[in-house]
Amino acid sequence: MLHCVHGDGSEVSSFKIDVDGRLFGLGTRATGGTNPVHLAQSAGNRWVLVANYATGSVASLPVEENGSIGPMAHLLELPAKAGPHKTQQQGAHPHQIVLHPSGRWLLVPDKGADAVHTLALDEDTGALQLIATLEVAPGSGPRHLVFRSDGAVAWVVLELSSQVLTARFDAATGRLEPVRRTTTVPDSFVGENTGAGIVLPRDECQLFVSNRGHGSVVCYEVDATDGALSSPTWTRALGAVPRFITPLPGTNALCVANEDADSIVRVSGPSQVEPLTSTGSPVCVAFTHSSKEITS
On the question of pLDDT at 291 being above 70, the answer is no
CB atoms within 10 A of CB 75: 17
On the question of pLDDT at 119 being above 60, the answer is yes
pLDDT of residue 287: 85
pLDDT of residue 270: 80
Q: What percent of the chain has pLDDT over 90?
A: 87
- How does pLDDT run across 220-232, given as a tens digit for each residue? 999 999 999 999 9
Q: What average pLDDT score do residues 16-39 get?
A: 95
CB atoms within 10 A of CB 155: 24
pLDDT of residue 269: 79
Mean pLDDT of the chain: 94
State how far the Cα of 48 lies from the Cα of 268, in Å rounded to an integer: 33
Task: State the SS3 of the chain.
Answer: CEEEECCCCCEEEEEEECCCCCEEEEEEEECCCCCEEEEEECCCCCEEEEEECCCCEEEEEEECCCCCECCCCEEEECCCCCCCCCCCCCCCCECCCEECCCCCEEEEEECCCCEEEEEEECCCCCCEEEEEEEECCCCCCEEEEEECCCCCEEEEEECCCCEEEEEEEECCCCEEEEEEEEECCCCCCCCCCEEEEEECCCCCCEEEEEEECCCEEEEEEECCCCCCEEEEEEEECCCCCEEEEEECCCCCCEEEEECCCCEEEEEEECCEEEEEEECCCCCCCCCCCCCCCCCC
- How does pLDDT run across 91-114, given as a tens digit for each residue? 999 999 999 999 999 999 999 999
- How does pLDDT run across 232-254, given as a tens digit for each residue? 999 998 888 999 999 998 888 99
pLDDT of residue 159: 98
pLDDT of residue 295: 44
